[in-house]
């Protein structure tokens, strides 16, 4: 038996839960039961802090931030919580007395994939930082029964599988029937056209604790993530429709929150999506009103006490709905007064400038489904357009029969921000110049950041330990302190230690990947394992959603070029390289699926060619998600951030990889620009390609065929991919042809090479040559890498949240020690076991 009292206690609790909940004694419990019981034991620790956090807010009545997002990607809760409560080692030891290791137990948990990519992960990083900084805040979202699909790649073809994260009981969620709210749809039309039957849908809240990293004083706050679900409410089932044989209709409202729409950057105008967006807005606003008014607030104090941040335009209906609720609450309030309050409360973050991603809804659809909100949108539009200075089509909310969500938010909120300086400049000058002229004070920038505790401390404990040894543990609390590493970057012993950690990172990652199986045949069965290269090979990684603008094609074509060069014997001075591409394609995005298949074709060619397979490989990683990122980060040498300049709003993977000591090969796009500035050009040697300004001009007269004709290597590569030695079946050849045609010919829907892959190819190739040269000087490489880590100080989401806090005029509300003390006293019998 162990002699550490904390261990004894936790072990006792674990066994007690196994008995009480599952009727099991330890040797007979399954890994799932041990996982559940462990989480329940941990919850005892968390609950008091959670209650204390909420009670402190109730007592001190600070202004509160309400963060609205259709997406969150928190990753596994359990490991995160273990690190934040500081009991990971302890739990590891306790589990030694069970048949399972900590890794096995953590493995039970499936990532909640409640988001598509960057935007959803950013929301989770922000909640983490809000909690760490002890800000009074709550996050609202939807509890999708099925999150982002599980991706399988069958011989190069993406197959989407339902994500079943809720298959078993989720120990980290708390169903809150007491907070259920009714959301009203349809029922009447303001224009007097046919009115539809009103329906009211019951949304149930599920709360998740987001545990803040403890402050230096060692106390921690807990922020609530509140997700709405329509699933478990039998009331939502329309029995009358069912009896009338309208089965689809009957279940529509119980299944509203069933599925996350799996596309980013593209809107199809789906009715259910609009219903989802309004569900989030209406249920959350009702909850905000309940909180505000139950604590003695009034309409007069609303603008002082409430801040709402909308994560892209998806929750943009807050503008009309908040105005409507305010006017309902205070019938004397004029439209202008309601707008003024709404404006002081709301701010909007833009995450994309791609035209196809700017959200618009058919007026008719909005009017039919949301007549009350539509009436307000229309009134707002009409009122604004009465004024001469607003009479400009580029400022209109309603335009050509559509509701422009961004315009609604630009008029209705206090601030609009982009997510990196370059992006914010584009938002102001190119996307909404007329708005910028009208409301110059609204436009601002908040550069994204990531949770350095998750992506460095939790994902790469060895590197984190090395940092702490050298510069103390201050960086964990204030990431700006990581800059101190600069002074040590020249130290050969540190460089060596860094390289050793990197090598171990690679080995661990490879064994993790290999264990999962890396290849499937055309029937979906996992087949042979994939060859991998040792830690001496350069390991480069491009992990992100598959999208043309992110230019995975540039990456793949470069590998083809390297391969062809090697085949011709030009390998002197060349290093062994292993590339990894991971990411999901939106199910309806044909070109993205082609890119994925093309990558798989190249991958197959490289691993099957005996002449080159020990020197050049491409791994196409299936089902890229948050937990895989955690496994991959520590081993990466080179981070591929090669989007067409001006198109990637910020990027956040770029930050995670750089924090883990990867060097970046990247265009001057999104946050890459600021990262380069912070690190300093000399330590950012692989910057390449057109600038955003050049890219803007490049369309005119662009002829990719000219480049193709003039660059023999590129020509060779593009010719080879359609040759018979590359593909085996007709579908593969079609895929290769489609890729080549999209670059050289274009079609009715798109010009040739819309994202200038060919135009940037040579510059990319040359930057990759610089990579290979530098990689052969390991100490120098390590020095650059250390300086890159040192330059990441301002890319923590703590900094982003401090910037947003200025917009919100929000101040921390630490846990009230008196409350915590009282609670601890009252419930001390828990911790006494
Ligand atoms: C909207 C309506 C219907 C269906 C889908 C959508 C939808 C969903 C997600 C539209 C866009 C998105 C996601 C956008 C996104 O992730 N943008 C990324 O945001 C990151 C965080 O700011 C940035 O770092 C990335 O540069 C940006 O691409």
Q: What whole-number distance in Å separates Cα of residue 418 and Cα of residue 124?
A: 18
> Is the CB of residue 648 below 6 angstroms from any atom belonging to ligand 1?
yes
In this structure, the number of other CB atoms found within 10 A of the CB of residue 88 comes to 17
pLDDT score of 378 more than 50 = yes
Q: Which residue in this structure is represented by tokens 């983490």?
A: 128
pLDDT tens by residue, 570-584: 776 789 999 999 999
Q: What whole-number distance in Å separates Cα of residue 214 and Cα of residue 111?
A: 24
pLDDT score of 103 more than 90 = yes
Q: If you write DSSP's letter for every residue of 596-657 in order, what string do you get?
A: HHHHHHHHHHHHH-TTTTTTEEEEEESS--HHHHHHHGGG-SEEEE-PPTTT-S--SHHHHH
Q: How buried is 803 (Cβ within 10 angstroms: 0-12 exposed, 13-18 middle, 19+ buried)?
A: middle
Token couple for 164: 């079943």
Strand, helix or coil for residue 217: coil
Q: What confidence score (pLDDT) does residue 828 get?
A: 67
From the alpha carbon of 270, which atom of ligand 1 is closest? 3
Q: What confidence score (pLDDT) does residue 189 get?
A: 55
Q: If you average pLDDT over residues 163-185, what whole number do you get?
A: 95
Give the Å distance between the CA of 351 and the centre of ligand 1.
Answer: 6
Return left, alpha or beta for 195; rule: phi > 0 is left, psi -120 to 50 is alpha, else beta. beta
Q: Kindly give the residue spans of alpha helices, DSSP state H, lying in 472-589.
A: 474-477, 492-516, 552-567
Cβ distance 239 to 250 under 8 Å? yes
State which of 119, 354, 641, 804 you would mutate to test the pocket of ligand 1, scoring each by most atoms of that ligand within 8 A of its C-beta. Answer: 119
Q: At a CB cut-off of 8 Å and minimum separation 6, what does 49 contact?
A: 211, 219, 220, 221, 222, 815, 820
pLDDT band at 191 (very low <50, low <70, confident <90, very high): low
Q: What whole-number distance in Å separates Cα of residue 815 and Cα of residue 46?
A: 13
Strand partners, 137: 65
pLDDT band at 722 (very low <50, low <70, confident <90, very high): very high
pLDDT band at 829 (very low <50, low <70, confident <90, very high): low
* Residue of higher predicted confidence among 45 and 38: 38
Q: If you average pLDDT over residues 354-365, what whole number do you get?
A: 93
What is the Cα gyration radius of the chain?
A: 27
Strand, helix or coil for residue 581: strand
> Is the CB of residue 406 below 6 angstroms from any atom belonging to ligand 1?
no
Token couple for 224: 């609530």
Q: What confidence score (pLDDT) does residue 190 get?
A: 53
What's the Cα-to-Cα distance from 44 to each of 168, 638, 724, 824, 828, rounded to whole Å?
Answer: 21, 42, 63, 11, 10
> Is the CB of residue 661 below 6 angstroms from any atom belonging to ligand 1?
no
pLDDT tens by residue, 589-634: 999 999 999 999 999 999 999 999 999 999 999 999 999 999 999 9
The HSE-up count of residue 313 (CA atoms within 13 Å, CB side) is 23
Give the Å distance between the CA of 69 and the centre of ligand 1.
Answer: 11
> Is the CB of residue 136 below 6 angstroms from any atom belonging to ligand 1?
no
pLDDT tens by residue, 522-556: 889 888 778 899 999 999 999 999 999 999 999 99
pLDDT score of 434 more than 70 = yes
Give the Å distance between the CA of 134 and the centre of ligand 1.
Answer: 27
Which of the residues are catalytic?
A: 351, 544-545, 550, 652, 656
Give the Å distance between the CA of 635 and the centre of ligand 1.
Answer: 27
> Is the CB of residue 353 below 6 angstroms from any atom belonging to ligand 1?
no
pLDDT tens by residue, 768-815: 999 999 999 999 999 999 999 999 999 999 999 999 999 999 999 999
Q: If you average pLDDT over residues 566-573, what whole number do you get?
A: 81
Cβ distance 286 to 228 under 8 Å? no
Q: What whole-number distance in Å separates Cα of residue 185 and Cα of residue 226?
A: 22
Q: What confidence score (pLDDT) does residue 188 get?
A: 72
Lowest mean pLDDT among 212-216, 443-447, 477-481, 539-543: 212-216
Give the Å distance between the CA of 264 and the centre of ligand 1.
Answer: 5
Return left, alpha or beta for 284; rule: phi > 0 is left, psi -120 to 50 is alpha, else beta. alpha
pLDDT score of 329 more than 50 = yes
Cβ distance 664 to 672 under 8 Å? yes
> Is the CB of residue 794 below 6 angstroms from any atom belonging to ligand 1?
no
pLDDT band at 830 (very low <50, low <70, confident <90, very high): very low
In this structure, the number of other CB atoms found within 10 A of the CB of residue 231 comes to 19
Q: What whole-number distance in Å separates Cα of residue 408 and Cα of residue 363?
A: 13
> Is the CB of residue 303 below 6 angstroms from any atom belonging to ligand 1?
no
Q: If you write DSSP's letter for every residue of 271-326 in order, what string do you get?
A: HHHHHHHHHHHHHHHHHHHHHHHHTT--HHHHHHHEEEEEESSTTTTHHHHHHHHH
In this structure, the number of other CB atoms found within 10 A of the CB of residue 797 comes to 29
Count of H helices and E strands in the chain?
A: 35, 20
Q: What confidence score (pLDDT) does residue 833 get?
A: 38
Give the Å distance between the CA of 584 and the centre of ligand 1.
Answer: 13
pLDDT band at 832 (very low <50, low <70, confident <90, very high): very low
Q: If you average pLDDT over residues 381-404, what whole number do you get?
A: 94
Token couple for 762: 């040579």
Q: If you average pLDDT over residues 105-118, what whole number do you get?
A: 96
Widest distance between CA atoms in the chain: 82
Residue of the CA atom closest to atom 13 of ligand 1: 264
Cβ distance 156 to 596 under 8 Å? yes
> Is the CB of residue 652 below 6 angstroms from any atom belonging to ligand 1?
yes
Q: If you average pLDDT over residues 170-178, what whole number do you get?
A: 96
pLDDT band at 827 (very low <50, low <70, confident <90, very high): confident
Q: At a CB cut-off of 8 Å and minimum separation 6, what does 746 contact?
A: 752, 753, 754
Q: What whole-number distance in Å separates Cα of residue 39 and Cα of residue 25?
A: 17
pTM of the shown model: 0.97
Strand, helix or coil for residue 808: helix
Residue closest to 634 by CA, chosen among 783, 508, 775: 508
Residue of the CA atom closest to atom 1 of ligand 1: 267
Q: What confidence score (pLDDT) does residue 192 get?
A: 54
pLDDT score of 203 more than 70 = yes
pLDDT score of 18 more than 70 = yes
Q: What whole-number distance in Å separates Cα of residue 472 and Cα of residue 452?
A: 15
pLDDT tens by residue, 226-260: 999 999 877 788 877 877 888 888 788 888 999 99
Q: What confidence score (pLDDT) does residue 574 get?
A: 87
> Is the CB of residue 118 below 6 angstroms from any atom belonging to ligand 1?
yes
Q: What confidence score (pLDDT) does residue 357 get?
A: 87
């Amino acid at each position: 038996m162990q002699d550490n009292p904390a261990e004894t206690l936790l072990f006792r609790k674990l066994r007690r839960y196994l008995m009480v909940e599952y009727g099991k004694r330890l040797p007979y419990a399954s890994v799932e039961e041990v996982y559940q019981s462990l989480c329940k034991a941990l919850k005892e620790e968390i609950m008091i802090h959670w209650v204390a956090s909420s009670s402190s807010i109730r007592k001190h009545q600070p202004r509160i931030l309400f963060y609205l997002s259709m997406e969150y990607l928190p990753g596994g809760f359990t490991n995160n919580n273990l690190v934040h409560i500081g009991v990971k080692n302890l739990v590891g030891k306790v589990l030694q007395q069970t048949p399972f290791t900590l890794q096995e137990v953590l493995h039970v948990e499936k990532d909640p994939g409640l988001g598509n990519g960057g935007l959803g992960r950013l929301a989770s990083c922000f909640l983490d930082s809000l909690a760490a900084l002890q800000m009074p805040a709550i996050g609202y979202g939807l509890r999708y029964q099925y999150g982002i699909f599980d991706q399988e790649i069958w011989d190069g073809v993406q197959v989407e599988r339902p994500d079943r994260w809720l298959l078993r009981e989720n120990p980290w969620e708390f169903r809150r029937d007491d907070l259920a709210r009714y959301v009203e749809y349809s029922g009447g039309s303001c224009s007097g056209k046919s009115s539809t039957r009103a329906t009211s849908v019951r949304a149930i809240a599920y709360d998740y604790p987001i545990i803040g990293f403890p402050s230096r004083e060692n106390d921690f706050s807990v922020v609530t993530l509140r997700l709405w679900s329509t699933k478990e409410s039998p009331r939502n089932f329309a029995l009358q429709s069912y009896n009338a044989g309208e089965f689809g209709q009957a279940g529509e409202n119980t299944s509203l929150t069933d599925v996350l729409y799996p596309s980013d950057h593209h809107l199809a105008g789906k009715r259910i999506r609009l219903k989802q967006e309004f569900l989030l807005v209406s249920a959350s606003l009702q909850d905000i009103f309940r909180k505000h008014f139950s604590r003695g607030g009034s309409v007069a104090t609303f603008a002082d006490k409430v801040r709402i941040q909308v994560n892209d335009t998806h929750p943009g209906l807050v503008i009309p709905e908040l105005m409507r609720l305010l006017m309902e609450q205070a019938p004397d309030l004029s439209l202008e007064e309601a707008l003024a309050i709404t404006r002081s409360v709301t701010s909007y973050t833009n995450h994309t400038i791609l035209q196809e991603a700017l959200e618009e809804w058919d007026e008719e659809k909005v009017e039919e489904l949301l007549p009350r909100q539509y009436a307000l949108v229309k009134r707002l539009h009409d009122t604004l357009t009465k004024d001469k200075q607003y009479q400009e089509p580029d400022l209109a909310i309603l335009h050509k029969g559509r509701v422009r969500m961004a315009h609604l938010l630009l008029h209705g909120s206090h601030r609009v921000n982009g997510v990196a300086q370059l992006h914010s400049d584009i938002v102001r000058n190119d996307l909404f110049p007329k708005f910028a002229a009208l409301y110059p004070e609204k436009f601002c920038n908040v550069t994204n950041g990531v949770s350095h505790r998750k992506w460095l401390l939790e994902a790469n404990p060895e590197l984190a330990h090395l940092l702490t040894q050298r510069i103390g543990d201050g960086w964990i609390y204030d990431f700006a302190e990581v800059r101190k590493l600069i002074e040590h970057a020249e130290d050969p012993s540190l460089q060596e230690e860094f390289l050793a950690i990197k090598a171990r990172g690679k080995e661990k990652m490879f064994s993790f990947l290999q264990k999962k199986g890396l290849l499937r045949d055309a029937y979906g069965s996992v087949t042979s394992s994939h060859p991998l290269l040792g830690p001496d090979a350069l390991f480069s990684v491009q992990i992100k959603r598959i999208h043309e603008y992110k230019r995975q094609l540039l990456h793949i074509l470069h590998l083809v070029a390297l391969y062809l060069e090697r085949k011709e014997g030009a390998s002197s001075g060349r290093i062994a390289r292993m590339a990894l591409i991971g990411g999901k394609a939106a199910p309806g995005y044909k070109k993205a699926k082609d890119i994925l298949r093309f990558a798989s074709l190249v991958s197959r060619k490289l691993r099957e060619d005996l002449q080159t397979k020990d020197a050049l490989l491409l791994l196409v990683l299936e089902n890229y998600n948050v937990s895989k990122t955690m496994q991959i980060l520590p081993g990466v040498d080179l981070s591929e951030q090669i989007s067409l300049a001006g198109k990637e709003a910020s990027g956040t993977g770029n930050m995670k990889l750089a924090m883990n000591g990867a060097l970046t090969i990247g265009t001057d796009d999104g946050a890459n620009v600021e990262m380069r500035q912070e690190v300093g050009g000399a330590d950012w040697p692989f910057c390449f390609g057109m600038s955003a300004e050049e890219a803007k001009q490049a369309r005119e007269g662009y002829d990719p065929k000219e480049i193709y004709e003039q660059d023999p290597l590129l020509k060779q590569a593009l010719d080879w991919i359609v040759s018979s030695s590359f593909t085996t079946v007709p579908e593969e050849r079609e895929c290769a042809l489609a890729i080549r045609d999209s670059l050289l010919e274009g079609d009715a829907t798109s010009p040739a090479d819309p994202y200038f892959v060919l135009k940037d190819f040579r510059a990319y190739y040359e930057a990759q040559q610089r990579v290979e040269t530098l990689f052969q000087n390991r100490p120098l490489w390590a020095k650059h890498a250390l300086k890159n880590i040192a330059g990441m100080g301002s890319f923590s989401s703590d900094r982003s949240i401090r910037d947003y806090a200025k917009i919100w005029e929000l101040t921390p509300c630490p846990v009230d020690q008196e409350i915590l003390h009282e609670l601890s006293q009252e419930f001390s019998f828990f911790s006494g076991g």
